[in-house]
Structure 1
Amino acid sequence: MAPCHLHKFGGSSLADADCYRRVAHILLTHGHSSDLVVVSAAGKTTNFLYKLLSLSDAGQLWQEELQVLISYQQTLIEQLLSSDTARVLRERLSTDKAQLVSLLSLEQRNVYQVNQTVSFGERWSARLLAALLREQGVAASHVDATSLLIADEGAVPRIRHEESRNRIKACLANHANERLVITGFICANEHGDTLLLGRNGSDFSATLIAALADIDRCTIWTDVEGVFNADPNKINDATLLSSMSLLEADRLARLGSPVLHSRTLQPLFDVDVSLAVRSSYASHTDFTLIARESTSASAPVVTSLPEVVLLSLQLAGSADELLAELNNQGLTALASWKQGPTHLSLAYTHELAEQVSSWLAGQTDNFAISSLTQSRDYGLVALVSSGAHLYRRSFARLLSRDALPVYQDGLSLVTLVPSPQVNLLTQKVHRRCAGPRKRIGVVLLGAGNIGQAWIDLFRRSVKQLNTELEARVELLGLVSSRKALIREEGIGFDNWQQDFDNAGESWSYPQLFEQLAALKCDELVTLDISASASLTLHYPEFFARGIHMVSANKLAGSGPLAFYRDLKRQLGFRRLYWRYNASCGAGLPVQHALNDLHNSGDRVEAIGGIFSGTLCWLFEQYDGSKPFGELVLEARALGITEPDPRDDLSGRDMQRKLLILAREIGLELELEDIALVSLVPEALAQVSLEEFLSRIDELNEPLAEALADARAQDKVIRYVAQLDKQGGKLKARVALEQVEPDHPYANLTPGDNVFVIRSGFYQNNPLIIRGPGAGREVTAAAVQSDLAHICRDLLQEQ
Structure 2
Amino acid sequence: MKVLKFGGTSVAHSQNILLVEKIIKDESLKSRIVVIVSALHGVTDQLIRAAEYASVKDENYIQMIQNLEEKHISLIKDLVPITEQSSLLSFVKKHFNDIEDLCNGIAVLGELTYRIKDRIASYGEFLSSKIIAARLRHEGLDCIWMNSADLIRTDSNFTNAKVDFQCTESNIINFLNENKNRIIVAPGFVARDEKNNATTLGRGGSDYTASIIAASINAEELQIWTDVSGMMTADPRLASNAKPISEISYHEAMELSHFGAKVLYPPSIQPVMVKNIDLMIKNTFDPEAQGTLISHQLKSSGNEKQIAVGISNMNSIALLTLEGSGMIGIPGISAKLFQCLSQEKINIILITQGSSEHSITIAIEEKEALRAEYAINSSFADDINLKRVYPVKIETELSIVALVGENMKSRSDVNAKMFGCLGNNGINVRAIAQGSSERNISIVISEKDSKKAVNVLHEEFFESEIKQVHLYICGTGNVGSKLIHQIYDQNAYLRENFLVNLRIAGISNSRHMIFSDKGISQEDYLIWDEQGEKASALGFAEEIIHRNLRNSVFVDVTASSDVPEIYESLLKRSVNIVACNKIAASSDFKKYKTLKNTARNHNCNFYFETNVGAGLPVIGTINDLINSGDQIQSIQAVLSGTLNFVFNHYDGSRTFSEVVAQAQQEGYTEPDPRLDLSGTDVARKILILARESGYPLQFEEIENRGFLPGECMHGSVGDFYEKLTANEDYFKNLLNDAENEGKILKYVAEFEDGKAKVGLQHIAPDSDLFHLYGKDNIVIFKTLRYSEQPLVVKGAGAGADVTASGVFADIIRSI
Q: The TM-score by the shorter chain falls in which range? A: 0.5 to 0.7
Deviations 1:440-495 (A, max 9, x none): 9xxxxxxxxxxxxxxxxxxxxxxxxxxxxxxxxxxxxxxxxxxxxxxxxxxxxxxx
Q: 2:376 — aligned with what?
A: 360
8 Å contact 1:333–1:348 — kept in the other structure? yes
Q: 1:382 — aligned with what?
A: 402
- Uncovered stretches (5+) of structure 1, i.e. residues with no partner: 441-520, 526-595, 604-758, 763-794
Cα offset, 1:89, TM superposition: 0.8
Q: 2:430 — aligned with what?
A: 404
- Which runs of structure 2 are paired with 1:164-563 in the superposition (5 Å)? 164-295=168-299, 296-297=303-304, 298=306, 299-315=308-324, 316-317=326-327, 329=342, 331-338=347-354, 340-354=356-370, 356-357=372-373, 359-361=375-377, 363-364=379-380, 369-388=389-408, 389=411, 390-397=413-420, 398-399=422-423, 400=426, 402-404=428-430, 406-409=432-435, 410-433=438-461, 435-438=462-465
Greater shift in the superposed pair: 125-134 or 381-390: 381-390
Question: For residues 24 and 814 of structure 2, what CA distance do their matches in structure 1 show?
Answer: 49
8 Å contact 1:439–1:523 — kept in the other structure? no
Question: For residues 364 and 215 of structure 1, what CA distance do their matches in structure 2 show?
Answer: 49
Q: 2:44 — aligned with what?
A: 46
8 Å contact 2:248–2:309 — kept in the other structure? no
Question: For residues 39 and 46 of structure 2, what CA distance do their matches in structure 1 show?
Answer: 10
Question: For residues 264 and 368 of structure 2, what CA distance do their matches in structure 1 show?
Answer: 18
- Flag the 1:209–1:87 CA change in 2: closer, same or farther, 3 A: same
Q: 1:82 — aligned with what?
A: 81
Q: 2:130 — aligned with what?
A: 127
SS of aligned partner of 1:158? coil
- Flag the 1:523–1:30 CA change in 2: closer, same or farther, 3 A: farther
Question: For residues 761 and 324 of structure 1, what CA distance do their matches in structure 2 show?
Answer: 67
SS of aligned partner of 1:126? helix
From 148, 159, 164, the counterpart of 1:145: 148
Question: For residues 193 and 377 of structure 1, what CA distance do their matches in structure 2 show?
Answer: 39
Letter in 1 for 2:429: A
Question: For residues 115 and 447 of structure 2, what CA distance do their matches in structure 1 show?
Answer: 40
Q: 2:99 — aligned with what?
A: 100
- Flag the 1:319–1:289 CA change in 2: closer, same or farther, 3 A: farther
Cα offset, 1:212, TM superposition: 1.9
SS of aligned partner of 1:304? strand
SS of aligned partner of 2:274? coil
Is 1:24 matched with 2:32? no
- Flag the 1:114–1:418 CA change in 2: closer, same or farther, 3 A: closer
Report sequence identity in percent: 21
SS of aligned partner of 1:215? coil
SS of aligned partner of 1:115? helix
Cα offset, 1:115, TM superposition: 2.6
Question: For residues 165 and 153 of structure 2, what CA distance do their matches in structure 1 show?
Answer: 8
Question: For residues 15 and 181 of structure 1, what CA distance do their matches in structure 2 show?
Answer: 17
Question: For residues 263 and 246 of structure 1, what CA distance do their matches in structure 2 show?
Answer: 12
- Uncovered stretches (5+) of structure 2, i.e. residues with no partner: 468-494, 500-623, 632-782, 787-811
Question: For residues 256 and 524 of structure 1, what CA distance do their matches in structure 2 show?
Answer: 34
Question: For residues 320 and 246 of structure 1, what CA distance do their matches in structure 2 show?
Answer: 34
From 9, 23, 40, the counterpart of 2:6: 9
Cα offset, 1:129, TM superposition: 1.0
Cα offset, 1:232, TM superposition: 0.5
Deviations 1:514-571 (A, max 9, x none): xxxxxxx96599xxxxxxxxxxxxxxxxxxxxxxxxxxxxxxxxxxxxxxxxxxxxxx
Cα offset, 1:252, TM superposition: 1.5
Letter in 2 for 1:346: I
Is 1:67 matched with 2:69? no
Cα offset, 1:92, TM superposition: 1.6
Letter in 2 for 1:600: S
8 Å contact 1:314–1:342 — kept in the other structure? yes
Question: For residues 233 and 496 of structure 2, what CA distance do their matches in structure 1 show?
Answer: 20
- Which runs of structure 2 are paired with 1:637-676 in the superposition (5 Å)? none
Letter in 2 for 1:138: L
SS of aligned partner of 1:163? helix
Cα offset, 1:370, TM superposition: 3.8
Letter in 2 for 1:304: N
Deviations 1:178-197 (A, max 9, x none): 31111111110112111121
- Flag the 1:97–1:760 CA change in 2: closer, same or farther, 3 A: closer
Cα offset, 1:12, TM superposition: 0.7
Is 1:35 matched with 2:61? no
Cα offset, 1:97, TM superposition: 2.7
TM-score by length of 2: 0.52
Q: 1:724 — aligned with what?
A: none
Question: For residues 75 and 105 of structure 1, what CA distance do their matches in structure 2 show?
Answer: 25
- Flag the 1:796–1:597 CA change in 2: closer, same or farther, 3 A: closer
SS of aligned partner of 1:164? helix
Question: For residues 284 and 215 of structure 1, what CA distance do their matches in structure 2 show?
Answer: 22
SS of aligned partner of 1:391? helix
- Flag the 1:138–1:67 CA change in 2: closer, same or farther, 3 A: same
Letter in 2 for 1:95: K
SS of aligned partner of 2:19? helix
Cα offset, 1:100, TM superposition: 2.5
Deviations 1:1-57 (A, max 9, x none): xx2x11111111101101110001011113445211111101111122112212322
Letter in 2 for 1:414: S
SS of aligned partner of 1:159? coil
- Flag the 1:259–1:356 CA change in 2: closer, same or farther, 3 A: farther
Cα offset, 1:344, TM superposition: 2.2
Letter in 2 for 1:418: S
Q: 1:708 — aligned with what?
A: none
Question: For residues 223 and 36 of structure 1, what CA distance do their matches in structure 2 show?
Answer: 20
Cα offset, 1:432, TM superposition: 1.4
- Flag the 1:184–1:275 CA change in 2: closer, same or farther, 3 A: same
Question: For residues 21 and 348 of structure 1, what CA distance do their matches in structure 2 show?
Answer: 41
- Flag the 1:226–1:353 CA change in 2: closer, same or farther, 3 A: farther
SS of aligned partner of 2:239? coil
- Flag the 1:276–1:320 CA change in 2: closer, same or farther, 3 A: farther
Cα offset, 1:335, TM superposition: 4.2
Letter in 1 for 2:167: E
Question: For residues 48 and 236 of structure 2, what CA distance do their matches in structure 1 show?
Answer: 30
Question: For residues 252 and 181 of structure 1, what CA distance do their matches in structure 2 show?
Answer: 29
Question: For residues 439 and 417 of structure 1, what CA distance do their matches in structure 2 show?
Answer: 25
Question: For residues 176 and 404 of structure 1, what CA distance do their matches in structure 2 show?
Answer: 57
Letter in 1 for 2:100: V
Count residues with an aligned counterpart: 464
Is 1:154 matched with 2:163? no
Pick the structure with greater CA Rg.
1
Question: For residues 230 and 341 of structure 1, what CA distance do their matches in structure 2 show?
Answer: 35
Letter in 2 for 1:394: K
Runs of 4+ with deviation above 6 angstroms? 324-328, 365-368, 596-599, 759-762, 795-798
SS of aligned partner of 1:41? coil
Question: For residues 334 and 238 of structure 1, what CA distance do their matches in structure 2 show?
Answer: 25
- Flag the 1:105–1:306 CA change in 2: closer, same or farther, 3 A: closer
Question: For residues 382 and 217 of structure 2, what CA distance do their matches in structure 1 show?
Answer: 43
